[in-house]
Amino acid sequence: MGSTQQTHQAPTTAELQTLWALLGDLGRAATHWRFEVAPNPCVGAAVVSRGQEVARGFHQRWGGPHAEAAALAAAAESAVPAEHWDTMVVTLEPCSSRGKTPPCVEAIRSTGIKRLVVGAVDPDVRHRGAGLKKLEEAGVEVIVLEGAAPLEDVCPHFLAWSGPDRLRRPHPWTIAKWAQTRSGHLMPPANSDNNRWISCGASRDEVLELRGGVDAVVTGVGTVLMDDPRFTVRPPGDTEMRPLRVVLDSYLRTPPEYALLRQTPGPGVGPVHILCQGGADVGRWRALEDAGAVVTGLPAGETDHVSLLDAQAWLWEQGARRVLLEAGPTLLSRYLDRDLVDQVRVYTGSAIGGEGVTMAAWMASANFAQRLDRECGADSVLEAFSG
C-alpha cells in the first residue's frame, strides 16, 4: 500500500480493505470502454458516503466526461444529498489541468468531499502528483492505495502513451479500421451482388460513430480514386465533430471535382488536407487549392511515396491526437509494416474471396493485446490494441 496523509480521522484497516476492493472493481469495470477512450486511460470513480457507495461513473468516450465528473453527476441523481458525500474513490489521480474537459480536481474540491482515495498516480511526468498536491492544499485527505487498480492491468495502453519514448517522438494514436471478406480481402469479389460494401449497415453506422470520435481521418489516394468517398461524420456519428480529412497523395492525383471537395463546410464536414511530395505538379496543386483543399508538400520519403513518419509528425502539429486510418490495402499494409498502428477495428462480412491482396496472413500472425471479438449485425468484429 502507498502513502497515507492524515488530516482527518484515519480509515480503519477494514475500511481500507473495502476501499481496496472497490478500486479493483472500478478498475476492472473501466476496461469495458478501453477502445472508446484510448489513448486516454480507462478510469472508474465512485462517490462514497459513510462507507456506502452512492454512485459510480466511468470515462466512456475519448473527449467525453472524465470518470470523476460522471460519478459526481450520477451521485447528484441519487437520494443521498451532497453534504453526506465524504469520499471519492478513483482508479487514477484526477487531472489538474484543463484538457477537453475542465480539471477534475476543481470538480472534487467544489463538492466539499473530504477524502480522496486513488489507485494510481498519473504516470505522465508532466502531471505526476500535481492533482493530489492541489487537493491536499485544499484540505482534502489523499490516500494512495497503489496496487489496488494497477495501470498495467487497467490501461497498459496509457502507460505506453504517456511513457518517455512516446513523449520524445510525439505522433498521434492511430486506429486502423477496415472491412474485409471472410478471406481477408478489402475489395469484394467483382461479381458480388452488392459490389460496394463488404460490411453491413449496422457496421457502417458504427464507423460513422467512430469518425465522430477522432481528430482526423486519413486515407490514400487509391481509395479516393476508386470509391470517391466523403469521409464526413453523419448521424449516428457526432456531427459536432469535424475531423480533418487527410489524403496521402504523393503526386496530387486527387480529382478536384470529387466528392471530398464538393461537401459544403459545416456540421461533420472537416477541412480537406492533401499531403504530397514536395515538388508535385504546380497546376494540380493550384487546382486542388482552388477547389478548397489545403495542399502540403512533405519531403520525399525513402520510397516514392509521402513519408509516413513525416505525415504522422504533421498530424501531431495540427493537434491531431487520435486518428482514424480508413485506407485500402496498399497504405494500410504500409502503416502496419511500420508499426504505426496502435489499435485495430476489423469488420469481417459474409462474402468470400475478393480482389487484390488479403489481410489473412497478417491477421494470423498479428500480436493483439486486450482483444475483443464481438458481433455487429451480420458481421463479426475484432477490436484490439497492437501488442
Ligand X SMILES: NC(=O)c1ccc[n+]([C@@H]2O[C@H](COP(=O)([O-])OP(=O)(O)OC[C@H]3O[C@@H](n4cnc5c(N)ncnc54)[C@H](OP(=O)(O)O)[C@@H]3O)[C@@H](O)[C@H]2O)c1
Residues at the contact surface with ligand X, assessed by CB under 6 A:
178-179, 186-187, 198, 219-223, 226-227, 248-251, 253, 305-306, 308, 326-332, 334
- Cα 56–59–65 angle (5° rounding)? 95
Nearer to ligand X, 209 or 227 (CB): 227
- Least distance to ligand X, CB of residue 206, Å: 13
Residues 6+ away with beta carbon under 8 Å from 364 = none
* Omega cis (within 30) before 236: yes
User: How many Å apart are CA 289 and CA 325, to the nearest integer?
Assistant: 23
The whole-angstrom separation of Cα 384 and Cα 380 is: 13
CB of 119 to ligand X, least distance (A): 38
106 is catalytic: no
Residue identified by cell 504530397 is 276
The radius of gyration of the chain's CA atoms, rounded to the nearest angstrom, is: 24
In the bound state with ligand X, the residue whose beta carbon lies nearer, of 83 and 302, is 302
Handedness of CA 98, 101, 102, 105 (dihedral sign): negative
Give 292's contacts (C-beta < 8 A, 6+ positions apart): 261, 272
Which of 202, 191, 256 minimizes the C-alpha distance to 228? 256
* Contact partners, residue 126, CB within 8 Å, separation at least 6: none
Q: How far is the CB of 380 from ligand X (least distance, A)?
A: 14
Q: How far is the CB of 230 from ligand X (least distance, A)?
A: 13
- Strand 244-248 and strand 379-386: the pairing is unpaired
With respect to ligand X, which residue has the nearer C-beta, 83 or 193? 193
Cis amide prior to 256 (ω within 30 degrees): no
Whether 235 and 260 have beta carbons less than 8 Å apart is answered as: no
Cell of 63: 473527449
Select 144 or 217, whichever has its Cβ closest to ligand X: 217
Considering 36, 53, 68, 93, which one is annotated as catalytic?
A: 68
Q: How far is the CB of 152 from ligand X (least distance, A)?
A: 33
Listed in sequence order, the DSSP H helices in the chain are 13-30, 34-37, 67-76, 104-111, 130-137, 151-154, 156-161, 164-168, 201-211, 221-227, 282-290, 308-317, 329-337, 360-365
CB of 347 to ligand X, least distance (A): 8
Minimum CB distance to ligand X smaller for 219 or for 386: 219
Residue tagged 472497490 (cell numbers): 22
Residue-wise burial string across 229-250, b where 16 or more C-beta atoms lie within 10 A, e elsewhere: bbbbbeeebbbebbbbbbbbbb
Closer residue to ligand X in complex, CB, 43/198: 198
Nearest CB to ligand X, comparing residues 60 and 330: 330
Terminal alpha carbon distance of the chain? 29
The distance of closest approach from Cβ of residue 304 to ligand X in the complex, given in angstroms and rounded to an integer, is 6
Nearer to ligand X, 14 or 282 (CB): 282
> Please, what is the Cα angle at 24 between 21 and 30, to 5 degrees?
140
Q: How far is the CB of 278 from ligand X (least distance, A)?
A: 13
Catalytic residues, by residue number, are 68
